[in-house]
A and B are shown apart, each in its own frame.
Chain A
Amino acid sequence: MLSRAAANLFWLGRFIERAESTARMISMGQRMAMLPSTQGQSEWASIMLATGTKLPEGRPVTEADIVSGLILDTQNPSSIQSCLARARENGRAVRTALTQEMWESLNEDWRYLEVMDTQTARQQIGSILEWVRKRCAIFRGAVETAMSRNEGYNFLRLGGSIERADMTLRLLNVKYYLLLPETEVVGGGRDYHHWMSMLHAVSGLRAYHRYYSGDYASWNIADFLLLNQTFPRSVAFSYRQLDLALSSLEKSHGGAHDCQRTARNELARLNRMDINAIFDDGLHEFIDNQIIKTARISQEVSNAYYF
């Protein structure tokens, strides 16, 4: 297929995933900020940091900053509105590679957020985040039911998996940026609540319980989000998905590139990994390192397929 079309599908997959993950991260911030005796400032600030968004200078971060910066700001590439607009733009540029339903799901109400001001969006934040999740789900449903499992599908899935791995890593990083007040201890009530909010954000509460019998220990939750083989938002699972997409591409193109080799090595490494070792070496260092590796695969993909 055209390299540009491959790039458009790849980025379409990434932006849809990023829109949804950002919505999930904001939900997490809301939940974290709900505890008594907190203004939520530190929670909101860590979410902005984790998405790579600049903090306002000389004042605490508020929910309004989150709404304007991470939902509405068209200048911020991570904001939901820019993700959805860019997903649609990429989709529009490869309309011929999309099914009718995929296109309709990108096109319907695409200006919903455009007309919204911060005030209105704050009042409706819950329903906006819900709306984003639904849109992304409808898009995925359209892909699932009618898109041919061809080259284009693999580029779309590849973009989605890379973005999901990246966003789950960033979600975990929120906890790193989140300083506990001096009166709180690690493993105390607030800490516990933060970790649990992460599971909520990835819709993983139930799945988690199946593996770790009700104990919200930080290393178990990190293990679940990083290394679990069956939970679809874990980093290891996302890597397996991207490895599958890359293997299909390798088959249809009759050859492997750097991206295939890197992905395969990384997947094998993640599967061998032990959470205790990760904690010993530093969770944050591991995450930052993995974010860089994920970005490298993305770069290698565009080199391999000429985009």
Chain B
Amino acid sequence: MPFNEMEDTDGVRPPYRSVADWIEETGTELLGRRREEAEAIFRKIGITFAVYGEGGDPERLIPFDLIPRVFSAGEWLVLESGIRQRARALNAFLYDIYHRGEIIKAGIVPGELVYQNAAYLPQMVGFSPPGRVYSQIVGIDIVRTGPDKFQVLEDNCRTPSGVSYMLENREIMARMFPDIFTGGPVRPVDHYPDELLRTLMEVAPAACTGEPTVVLLTPGSLNSAYYEHSFLADLMGIDLVEPKDLFVDKARVWMRTTHGPKQVDVIYRRIDDDYLDPLTFRPDSLLGIPGLFDAYRAGCVNICSAPGAGVADDKAIYIYVPEMIRFYLREEPILENIQTFQCGRPDECKYVLENIDELVVKEVHGSGGYGMLIGPKSTKAEIEAYRQRILADPGNFIAQPTLNLSTAPTLHEREISGRHVDFRPFCLVGKTIRLVPGGLTRVALQPGSLVVNSSQGGGVKDTWVLRE
């Protein structure tokens, strides 16, 4: 049985007591109506999410479940220290692999996993970004498999998305049920944009002496996360720029304004490395800002996250994060990893192929829940087809045991029942590390489903972290 977040054998668990009372008082009938209202509000505001290549509605809503997911103060204490620890270690790792490579010399991480990684950028070797921070926003996907057991599913060191849902979900809940927040035990999350801006300003390049000009770089309004880009830029009060709004002159980055060019100091980019600078990364591409990387290396602008930061969130590198924590921080990891088999190793590959119907198999570089196989939920034919793919390129696959993700109460029609959830907090790394008490809880809306990705029909919930 998966861990039930709301109830155990003694009845409702303490952190969920206020939620249970609230459900009892409100009744599922009213909850159902409120959910429809919430959906109408989301639609009206335009909080949408595009799903590539599926046709249909190009601006789809992510289903929102009204019943919050709750962490007690004690649980959060563990999570918080674990998340901060991991964010520090990942940044230390990135600094190391672009400098002396101590962890490789020490024989802890195999060199080929780093240096032959598609996300590794030789252009970054020897360069130190401001504050030695590579990943200013670390999104860590965490699942719960028992009362005291939190495990990390994966790390996101590039540009993790979803934080707008954390903020909007709370906003909607507060609009609909103001009473439960007034003077209540739920810690606020709405200062996240301020904390993010503070973080970005802290990592301004040394060449910037005055108040840094920070911009958010988006691929444009057709991008699936465009809503989030504009939302964050708005709340931080910074310009939302597209690549064509920026240009480089004399190793400085400028944005085109109605007053003429204005210098930019920090770029919070929400575009991939490949599309940053065609001169450096993709000579065949017309996208990007020619010369940006030179300006970056000259210390005239900071790019957040740093180009090449993606090595640290690779699924093959993931396996070594607990070792990184021991190596760089000389601490024991607070959050566990999930046992992972690398198909690139013959003995582990053999095990995977023999037990494939009980495992979850993923592509090393995949994301968003695409291209994975959930053994217990797949047909014989699907498994066989996937087996062939593994055999063709074993190094490209990892496998994990099918997890018993915890379930949280979720409203379906007019019934409340448990659905599997995961959790993504957003850890900010500047001169100090900041973590807002909350994050994005994703929920698999289909009964029994383990896939919480929004691109695969998952929904979202408000996440409550309670005071002592």
Contacts and interface: CB of A to CB of B under 8 A. Distances in A.
Interface stretch (B139-147, B236-244, B439-447, B451-459): B236-244
Among A2, A5, A306, A307, which residue has the most Cβ atoms of chain B within 10 A? A2
Given A96-B233, A305-B258, A2 B46 contact: no
Interface in A138-162: 151, 155
Contacts of A253: 258-259
A4 B44 contact: no
Interface residues of A, number: 23
B37 to A, nearest CB: 15
B258 A3 contact: yes
Contacts of B260: 306
A197 B233 CA distance: 47
A95 B256 contact: no
Given A2-B245, A4-B245, A95 B234 contact: yes
A91 to B, nearest CB: 10
B245 A95 contact: no
A2 B256 contact: yes
A108 interface: yes
B313 to A, nearest CB: 28
A151 B258 contact: yes
B45 interface: yes
A216 interface: no
Contacts of B258: 1-3, 6, 151, 155, 249, 253, 305-307
Given A103-B46, A104-B44, A92 B257 contact: no
A256 interface: no
A307 to B, nearest CB: 8
Interface string B252-272: 000111111000000000000
Contacts of B241: 2, 4
B234 A96 contact: yes
A108 B41 CA distance: 10
Contacts of B463: none
Nearest to B233: A96
B245 A93 contact: no
B242 A4 contact: yes
Interface string B371-398: 0000000000000000000000000000
Nearest to B256: A3
Interface in A1-42: 1-6
Interface string A94-106: 0110001001100
Contact of B257 (A2, A95, A103, A104): A2
A65 interface: no
A68 interface: no
B445 to A, nearest CB: 24
Interface string A287-307: 000000000000000000111
Interface string A211-244: 0000000000000000000000000000000000
A306 B255 CA distance: 11
A89 B45 contact: no
B215 to A, nearest CB: 9
A92 B227 CA distance: 9
Interface string A146-183: 00000100010000000000000000000000000000
A302 to B, nearest CB: 11
Contacts of B240: 95-96
Interface in A186-215: none
B323 to A, nearest CB: 43
A249 B259 CA distance: 10
A111 to B, nearest CB: 9
Interface in A59-105: 89, 92-93, 95-96, 100, 103-104
A107 interface: yes
A93 B220 contact: yes
Contacts of A4: 241-242, 244-245, 256
A107 B230 contact: no
B221 interface: yes
A89 B233 contact: no
A92 B230 CA distance: 9
Given A96-B230, A305-B258, A2 B220 contact: no
Contacts of B255: 2
B44 A3 contact: no
A103 B44 CA distance: 9
A93 B256 CA distance: 16
A89 B245 contact: no
Nearest to B218: A93
B361 to A, nearest CB: 39
Interface in B216-236: 220-221, 226, 230-231, 233-234
B245 A100 contact: no
Nearest to A151: B258
A39 to B, nearest CB: 41
Interface string A227-270: 00000000000000000000001000100000000000000000
A255 to B, nearest CB: 10
A165 B429 CA distance: 53
Contacts of A155: 258
A4 B242 CA distance: 9
Contacts of B242: 4
Given A151-B258, A306-B258, A92 B221 contact: yes
A1 B239 CA distance: 8
Contacts of B257: 1-3, 306
Contacts of B259: 253
Interface of B: 44-46, 220-221, 226, 230-231, 233-234, 239-242, 244-245, 255-260
16 contacts: A1-B258, A2-B245, A2-B255, A2-B258, A3-B256, A3-B257, A3-B258, A4-B244, A4-B256, A92-B221, A92-B230, A93-B221, A95-B46, A95-B231, A96-B230, A306-B256
Given A4-B245, A103-B46, 17 more contacts: A1-B257, A2-B239, A2-B258, A3-B258, A4-B244, A89-B221, A92-B221, A92-B226, A92-B230, A93-B220, A95-B230, A95-B240, A96-B233, A107-B45, A151-B258, A306-B258, A306-B260
Which 8 A-B residue pairs are closest in the complex by CB-CB distance?
A95-B230, A305-B258, A96-B234, A3-B256, A107-B46, A6-B258, A92-B221, A93-B221
